Every structure is written in C-alpha cells, then in structure tokens.
Chains A and B, each alone.
Chain A
Amino acid sequence: METPFTHAAFKPDAAFTSAAERFFELLKTFGMPGAAAAGADRDWSSLAGPLAGQFEQWLKSSQSAGPWFAAANPAAPGPGAGVGAAQAGSFGPLPLGAGAAPQQDAQRSWDLVARLAQLQGQLASHWGEIANTAARRFVARLGATAGGAPTLDNALKLYELWVNCAEESYAATVRKDDFCRLQAELANTSAALLVEQRRHAETLVRAFGLPSRNEVDALYAQLKDLRRQLAELTDAARAGGSGAQRPAVRPAGKGRRKRPRRPRA
C-alpha cells in the first residue's frame, strides 16, 4: 500500500488512489458478514476485532504513525524514515555497513541493528493499542450513524466517524511519555547507525586517498571563517574610510593558525 509516508513525494493522484482503496476496504469491513451477527439490537462489538486488525496492519505498513518507524527497519529503509535515519537507507546498495567493517566496528553496527529491531517491536505494541482503542471507540459511537440507507453520503459519514476515533486514539497514545521516549530512542539509534556507517565509509575513502567527509567539513569551516573575516575587514574598511579604524579581526594566514572549531549543536 502506497501512502504519502511510504512515498513522500508530490503525487496527488497516487496518494488519492491509495486513500480511496483504503476507504473501499473499510466499507467492505463495515459490511462484512461477521458484523451482521449483531442483528437489530445494534451491538456492533463483533466488528471491533476485524477493524482493529486491519487498522494495525495499515499502521505497520504505512509507517504513518511516526516518521522514525521506517528507520527502525534496517532491512527496508525508505524515504519516509526519520530524522537522520532516512539517509541510512541510501547506504543500502553500497558494500558498507556491518558486513564490510573490521570485526570490532562490525560488532558495534550489528548491536545497533539489533537494538533497532528491539525498539521496532516495542513500537508495534503501541500500534496495537492505538488500533484496538480506535476500533472500540468506533463501535461504541456507531449508534444512529450506522444502519442507515446505503448511500455514499452515509458511507462518508461512517468514514468521518472512523477517522475521528482513529485520530483521538492515536493522539492519546503518542503523547504518552513512554511513546515519546521510544520515538527519540529510535531516532537516536538510527542516527548512531548512520554515523557508524559513515565512519566505515571514511575508512574506505582514506584507503583510496580521497578526502573524507570530516576533512571536507573542516575545509568548509575554514572557508566560512575566512569569509567572515573578509566581511568584517570589508565593513571595517568601509566604516574607517582611509583605514583609520583597525579591523577587529586578524587577517587570515598571519600568526598562529587556529584549528577550525568543530561545530556543536
């Protein structure tokens, strides 16, 4: 199933088709034979199970309930992955990562991959909770909305009710401290894995005599520093006219060279 999360690009027709398919499926579930057993007393409880199951499946497959979810699946990284983690996917086709690294480094990568899988399992329990709560909420609120004439308008009303229940249930879970901690740990572990993979890549490029990312960053930092000094000198020259006012900075290349400071967040 394709959603804007699994395919985060401007494709309104594809996103619409996917949502419409899902709507179709939902309508079929609303009308499934199991639900008919409720009969005229309007006890829709038999609907909750299938609805929750279907919903949980969607949550897992669409990864929609958290951009870090995709990142937590190192086997199938996708464009919808979370902060820092998405880029990890781009390393997939390269002969890098745990398998290509020296023994000690490889162990660190495998540990991170294992931790990600563990966190993903923990996240799945939250999807289950959201799906079950949403389904129960929906069944409890069906009341008069259900059982009306089978028109498209009524179908859309049912859908609206379902979306409200799903959003409320989702909002309640994702605000909990344990969910927030889990999300953050997923993102951090994914980012750590990415950094680890890049470290392996740096080892490789050094072997070929190519500049590493760290070296390029250091050069950028130097360049930035020089540009800043140049701007300050230019401003000082403008302000001082004939140079009566001395610039506050030391011209680049004179005296003791300062090692570029590593930027800190």
Chain B
Amino acid sequence: MRPFAPDAEAVFAELTVRIADTVARLREVQGVAVGCSAKRAVWSCGKTTLYQYLPLAQAPPRAGRRPVLVCFALVNRPYVLDLQPDRSLVRRLLEAGLAVYLIDWGDPDDADRCVDLDDYIERHLGGSVRHILGNHGGEALDVLGVCQGGVLSLCYTALHGKQVANLVTLTTPVDFHTPDNLLSKWVRGLDTELLMRSGNVPGEVLNGLFLSLSPFRLTQHKYVRLLSGNSDQRALEDFVRMERWIFDSPPQAALALAQFVRWFYQENRLARGTLRIGGRRVDLGEIRQPVLNLYALEDHIVPPDAAAAMQRYIGSADYTGCGIDTGHIGMYVSRKAAHEIPARIISWLQERQ
C-alpha cells in the first residue's frame, strides 16, 4: 500500500484533462477588467493623483455629508478597493450617497528617489485634504486609511486633527514589534542607509517579500486549488483579477521606503511616540476624533495584535475596534468582507454625521 497508488492511471488522466482545461480558461479570462467605478483626476502632486469618484445616478451625494478620502498603501495599487461591481468598497460608499476621493500614489521613478515621508504625508496627503476641503467647504472630512495608508492617515490625523472628522482604518499596524510580526522580524536587521543608497525598490521585490511570508500557500496551493473542479467562470475571473492586482505592485521611492522600514518596523516610533513628521512629533494621543479600526484576524502581513494595539495609544473616547475573521487580502475582496466591511463603515459613519 502507498499513500497514493502509482497505478491510478484514471486519476492522472483526469488530472491532465483538468490542467489543460484550467490553463485554457485562465488564458481566456486573462484580459479581465479591473476597477469598475468611474472617476476623474482632480488634483496632483509629483506622481500622486487625487481622484474623485463620480456619483452614481441612483445615489447622488447627500447634501451636508462630509466627503470621504481613501488613503491606500504606497506598496500596492488602490484599485483593489474597486475591483469589480460586486466587490467594491468604493461602490458601496457611493451607493450610500457619500462623496468619495482616492489617493493614487503613482509610480515613483528615479526623479523621486529623495521623496520622503514628510512629502507623502504633508504635501501629497495634506494637499489632497486641503484640495477636497477647498472644494466642498467645511472644516473637516472623513478619512479611510488602508494598511500602510492607514499609518500615513494616523500620522496626518495626529498632526492636523481639525481637518479630520472621523477616521476609519483598515488592516493598519500601529505596534510594529508584536511577537507575531514576521515581516518586522525579517527587516529588523536591514541597513536602511544602504537600502536608501541602492535606489528605488522595484515592486516585484516587495511582492516577492510578501509572498515569501507564506510561500507554499501563495505560490502553489492557491493554483492547485483551481483543480478541485469548483471554479466556475465567475470564480476564475475573480481569481485572475486578484492575480493581476497582486503582481501589479508599484516601485517604492528609496528614501521613503528606507524611512518607513527604519522608523516604523525597526524603531517602532509610532507606538513609542518618537516619530517626527515635518519637524513635529506625531503624538497618537492627539487623535481625539471617533476612530473605527477594522483588522483581519488571520492577517499574515499585519498581525491582529499590531492593529488592535491602536486603542492603547490614541486619545479618542469614541473608539471601535473590530477583528474580522479573514486574511489580509480577504479584507478587501473576500465575499464575506465585501458585504460586512462596507456595511460597518457606512453605518458607523452615518451615526457620526
């Protein structure tokens, strides 16, 4: 007896057919579209573009509602929040009658090697906030920070509290030294001076780093699962959209990345209260506005403890933390999250209008 009979010719034959069929179907859907909501560029700074999503005819923005600015991570593309109509956080926000803006950091090139976190937070994020406030009137908007974008949003809110009415964070690390943070362990010994001098980091490199946190699941198992026979055409299209997003990572400006690694991952300055941006100390205790903090309980990139730690550091008396039973990417695109997360954000914001 063997774990698997070597003479199981019928199984190998079936497998061969399924492999050929799946390859053909994958090739068919390879050109599947990503990003579904109409938007227009309204402001830019360097490689950064601020987009405004066009309101839906059936749900025009309600008067008096504050606009929402979505601030995504530097290390990935933001279209994952608007991947397809039935999995789009952006679309759900639009359907709720909110005016939605999104920051796209673009593709830094060698001219951006010296772009630093001051630039990203004060000039690019700050410029976006000021532009939106200038357009809509009002003194403050709502900010939705995602992953690394949540970290930048926390910094901005701590420094410019009057401009942010409500803050929502999604999979946002605050304490970078929790014991379960493998990424943090790996980069702790990096020489950030050398990293900065060696230039911008290609997106593929960071992507490789993320995949190598769980290599067998993320580079083998997820593909083999397609052989189980449960993948209908729609599921396959969903899969390919995710693949496109995963392998579409922008390069990283050398100095900003080196600063992020050193200040956050190595020195944990945000949690320790020693971070300075634009010459000012970032004190999370200054965040006194309502905060909704959503994080994934199975997150291999931002461990739940790293995100849940936020409650200990911010000064808000209106804090809601919520762990969702999914993984990091599942927070943006899983069927469960596609319903639960927008619903939570919208109702939480509506209660605080």
Contact = CB atoms under 8 A, between A and B. Distances in A.
B259 to A, nearest CB: 5
B315 interface: no
A166 to B, nearest CB: 5
B204 to A, nearest CB: 4
Contact of B247 (A10, A38, A185): A10
B240 interface: yes
Contacts, number: 243
Q: Does more than half of chain A's interface fall in helix, strand or loop, or is it mixed? A: helix
B274 interface: no
A233 B343 CA distance: 44
B107 interface: no
B50 interface: no
Given A80-B204, A220-B111, A185 B193 contact: no
A20 B227 contact: yes
Nearest to A3: B219
A146 B1 CA distance: 9
B182 interface: yes
Nearest to B26: A13
Interface residues of A, number: 86
Interface string B200-230: 0110111111011011111111011011110
B208 A82 contact: yes
Contacts of B186: 174, 180, 183-184
Interface in A42-71: 42, 44, 47, 62, 64-67
A16 B26 contact: yes
Contacts of A44: 3
A8 B247 contact: yes
A96 to B, nearest CB: 15
Nearest to B220: A19
A191 B219 contact: no
B1 A62 contact: no
A133 to B, nearest CB: 13
Contacts of B119: 224
B114 A263 contact: yes
Interface residues on B, range: 35 or more
Interface in B115-129: 116, 119, 123
A184 B188 CA distance: 8
A33 B1 contact: no
B352 interface: no
A167 interface: yes
A12 B238 CA distance: 12
A47 B261 CA distance: 43
A197 B203 CA distance: 21
Contacts of B209: 67, 82-83
Interface string B101-114: 00000000011011
B79 interface: no
A152 interface: yes
A39 B1 CA distance: 5
B114 A224 contact: yes
B212 A156 contact: no
Interface string A4-32: 11001110110111111011100110111
Contact of A175 (B14, B182, B221): B182
Nearest to A44: B3
A12 B182 contact: no
Given A79-B204, A84-B195, A180-B189, A163 B217 contact: yes
Given A19-B223, A32-B6, A86-B202, A180 B185 contact: yes
Interface of B: 1-8, 10-12, 14-15, 18-19, 22-23, 26-27, 30, 110-111, 113-114, 116, 119, 123, 182, 185-199, 201-202, 204-209, 211-212, 214-221, 223-224, 226-229, 239-240, 243-244, 247-248, 255, 258-259, 261-262
Given A23-B220, A82-B205, A194-B199, 8 more contacts: A13-B26, A20-B227, A31-B4, A31-B7, A167-B214, A167-B216, A174-B182, A191-B197
13 contacts: A5-B212, A9-B247, A19-B219, A64-B219, A82-B209, A83-B195, A145-B3, A146-B2, A152-B229, A188-B190, A188-B194, A191-B198, A263-B114
Q: Give 6 closest A-B pairs by Cβ, nearest first.
A: A184-B189, A150-B8, A265-B258, A31-B6, A19-B223, A67-B208
